[in-house]
A and B are shown apart, each in its own frame.
Chain A
Amino acid sequence: MKRKIALLLAGVLAVSALTACGGGSSSSSDAGAAADTTAAAADAGAAADTTAAAADAGSAEGGKNLVCYWWGNQVRNERTAAALELYEQNNPGVSIDPQFADWGGYWDKLATLAAGNSMPDVLQMDYMYVDQYAKSGLLVDLTPYIENGTLDCSQISENTMASGTIDGGVYAICAGINSPALIYDKTLTDSIGLTIKDNMTMDEFFEYSREINEKTGVKTDISYGTVNSYSEYFMRSFDIVPFGDKKMNGTAEDWIPFFAQYVTGLDEGWLIDPSIFAEISIGAIEQMPMVYGSSPETRSWCALANSNQLAAAINAAPEGMELGITTWPAYDPVKSDYLKSSQFFSIGAGSANEEEAVKVLNFLINDIDANKILLGERGVPAPANVAEAIAPLLSETDQEVTAFINDVVTPNCSPINPPQPDGASEVYDLLNRVVEEVCYRQRTAEDAAAYFFEEANKIMATK
C-alpha cells in the first residue's frame, strides 16, 4: 500500500515537473522568474490572477482577454463593472476581467505588477503617480491612437489633456473633472446666521472659525494628516510650485505662513485638538470630524475635501445635517483654485491587446451609454458632449456639484501645477509629521518651516 502511494506521488511529481518545463519553454526564463516574484510578493489571489490573465491573453488566438484595474468605493466598483460588461456585449470575443482595490492596496499591488512586467491593460491613474509611471516606461503613449482616431479626444479641453501629457506624450486621459471643495455644516452656520462666501480669503476663513467657535464651541479642522493638496493649494497663492528638479522651490521663509495658520488656530482656540485624529482613519470621508465628532470639541464646522466627495459626505452626515459646498480658503483664491482630473485612465505598457485596450478606454471616456451607467461618479466627464448628455440623469447632489464646478470654480481658477515628481510622497509624509509637531507645540512656525525645507530638500536631492 505504502509503495503504491509513493509511486502515485512520484507520478504526480513527474507530471508537475513536465508542466513546469512546458511553462518555462513558452516564456523567456526572465519573465518566468519575474512572474514568480510577483505572485510571491503581492497579496496572493488577485496578483496571480492578473499574471495568469496576462499569460492567457498572450497565448489565446481568438478571444481577447483584458484586465481593467481601478481603486475606489462600492458604487464605483459596481458601475464600472457594469459598463465593462456592456462593452463585452457589444464586442463578442472580448472578455474583460474587472479588478479593484482600495487606494492604499492599489498602489502596493500596481508597483508589484509593474516589477513583474504584468501591468494591467486598462488602469486608473492618479496625478501624483503619473509622472513616475510614465517616465519609467510603464504606460503607453497614446498619441498614435489619438492621431489615427482610435481614441477620440476632440471633445476634451486642451487644459485637461495637458494634465495627462508628459514630455510631449499623452499617457493619461482624464476620467472625470473635480476641484478642491470645502464642505461645511450648513445647518450649523445657518443657526448662527452666518453666510459662507464662495472664493473666501484666508482672513475670512479665520473670521468664520472664530465666530463659530465663540458662538457654538465647534472647532475647525484644517487639513491634518492629508496636507498634500492643501499645502500645494496654499502655496499657489504665493506663486510657489513646491517641487523643482531634485529640490524644493522657494525658500524656507515662504513656508512660514503655512505653518502659522495652525499656530494661529491653536492660540485662538478654534483649531480642533490634534489628539482626536489618533482615533480616526485619516482621509476617510465617513470619519472626518465634521460628520464624525460627537461633541463640539471633537467636531469641525468644515472639511477640506474634493467636489466629487459631496455625495459621500452627505451619506455619512448625521440625520438632519445639511451640507454646503464652497471653495477652499486661500490668500489669493483665483491663483490657488484649480480644476483637476480626479483620476485618469491609462494603458499599461506590454499589453498583449494594446489596440483593444485603447478601444475600451475610448468606450469608458466617450461612449454615452457607458457614461449613463458610470454617471460621473469619477467627476464631471471630460468630453463636453458626454457631460451634457448625462446631466439630466444626475442626482440633485451631483447636479449641485456640476454647477459648483461650472459656475464657481471654472471662472475663478488657474491651471493646475505640473504632476508631482518622484519623492513627493516622502516629502508629504514629512510635511504631515511637521504639521503634527506644530500642532503638538513641539515647533514654532518659523522653526517648522526651516526644518521642513531643509529635510525636504535632502529627500529631493536623492531622487
Chain B
Amino acid sequence: MNNKKKQMTLKQFMGQESTAGVVFSLPFIIGFLLFMIVPMFISLYYSFCDYNILNPATFAGVKNYVKMFTDDPTFWKTIQVTFYFALVSVPLRLIFALIVAMILQKTTLATGFYRAAYYLPSIIGGSVAVAILWRRMFAADGVFNSLLGVIGIKTSFAWLGNVNTAIWMLIILAVWQFGSSMLIFLSSLKQIPVSLYEAARVDGASKWKQFWSITLPLLTPTIFFNLVMQMINGFLAFTQCFIITQGRPLNSTLFYTVYMYQQSFEFYNTGYGAALAWVMLGIIGLITIVLFATKRFWVYSEGV
C-alpha cells in the first residue's frame, strides 16, 4: 500500500512538465556550471595569486592588480588600442549595417541573394583564413596597392607596417562584418507599420524627414540592442590582432585580449593574466551599465 503510493508520486513527479524541462536543459546546466562558472571562480582566485601554470599557485593579495595600474605601461597601451578599436569600429559597423539593411528592405528576386552575400563576411570574417587573406591584401605588394595602381596611384605603402594605418586595417575588417546587425535591422525595419509612412506622405513629408521622424525613432530599441552586443564583442576581439598583426607595429594594434593571452600562455604569468581578465569583465560591465543608463534618453519605448 505504502509502496504503491510512493510509485504514484514518482510517476506524477516524472510527468510534470517542469521535470521534463529541467531534464532537457540539464546538459547545458551541467556544462555551464562545470566549464563556465567553476573555471571563472578559479580564475578569480588565481588573479590574487602568483601562478605560472607549472607550479602550484601561491596567494599574493592584490599585487597583480596594483602592478597593472601602477607599473605596466603596456596595459594602458592595450586599453587605449582596444577602446579606440571598439569605439570606432562598432558605430561604423552599425551605420553600415543600417544603410545596407534599408537598401535591401524591398523584396525583389535579387534581394535574397544580396542579403546572403552581405551576411557572408560575418560568418567567415572571424576566421583565420580571412585574417591571413587580409594581411596579404594590404601588403606592400598586395591587392589593395595594385588596385590603387590601376587608378593611377602607384605606391608600395605597407598599410599594416605603419603605426597610424595598421589599426585601421583591423577596423575595416571589423566593419566589413556587419551582417548579423544588418539582419536584425532588416527584421525590425519590416515591423514598422506602413500606415505611418502613408500618413507622412499624405502630410507631404520628404523621404529624409520620414527617416528621421519615423524610421530612426522606431529603430532605437534595435539600435540599442545591436550597440550593446557589438560593444561587448568589440572589446573581446582577438583573432584579427592575434593572426594579422600580433600587436605590431610598436604595439599599435595590441588588443587587450591578446595581451591577456600573451601574459597567461606565453610569459606564464597566469595569475596576472587572470587579473587582466577580471578587469576586462569590470570594464565591459561598466560600459553596459552606462549604455543602459542612457537608454531612457534616446531609446523609444512603446510602453511609456
Contact = CB atoms under 8 A, between A and B. Distances in A.
Nearest to A439: B249
Given A132-B54, A136-B55, A429-B267, A275 B39 contact: no
Interface in A102-132: 107-108, 111-112, 114-115, 132
A274 B140 CA distance: 12
A37 B268 contact: no
A108 B242 CA distance: 15
Contacts of B34: 36, 40
A349 B227 CA distance: 50
Contact of B53 (A5, A40, A114, A298): A114
A21 to B, nearest CB: 15
Contacts of B140: 275-276, 279, 298
Interface in B217-247: 245-246
A10 B10 CA distance: 11
A359 B129 CA distance: 42
B14 A276 contact: no
B250 A442 contact: yes
A3, A279, A426 — most chain B CB neighbours (10 Å): A279
B266 A429 contact: yes
Contacts of B265: 107-108, 111
B268 A279 contact: no
Contact of A6 (B15, B156, B163): B15
A279 B19 contact: no
B166 A278 contact: yes
Q: Main secondary structure on chain A at its contact with chain B?
A: helix
Contact of B23 (A10, A276, A440): A10
Contacts of B251: 433
A297 interface: yes
A420 to B, nearest CB: 13
A215 interface: no
Interface in A1-44: 2-3, 5-7, 9-10, 13, 36-37, 40-41
Given A422-B52, A422-B268, A278 B249 contact: yes
B91 interface: no
B298 interface: no
Contacts of A276: 140, 158, 161
Contact of A279 (B26, B39, B136, B266): B136
B142 interface: yes
Contacts of A282: 246
Contacts of A298: 140-141
Nearest to B263: A426
Contacts of A433: 250-251
Nearest to B161: A275
B49 interface: no
A295 interface: yes
A238 interface: no
A354 interface: no
Interface string B110-141: 00000000000000000000000001101111
Interface string A202-241: 0000000000000000000000010000000000000000
A298 B162 CA distance: 15
Given A6-B14, A276-B158, A429-B266, 18 more contacts: A3-B11, A7-B14, A9-B24, A36-B38, A40-B39, A107-B265, A133-B54, A136-B54, A136-B55, A274-B249, A277-B161, A277-B248, A278-B166, A425-B266, A436-B249, A436-B250, A440-B163, A442-B250
Interface of A: 2-3, 5-7, 9-10, 13, 36-37, 40-41, 107-108, 111-112, 114-115, 132-133, 136, 138, 225, 273-279, 282, 294-295, 297-298, 422, 425-426, 429, 433, 436-437, 440, 442
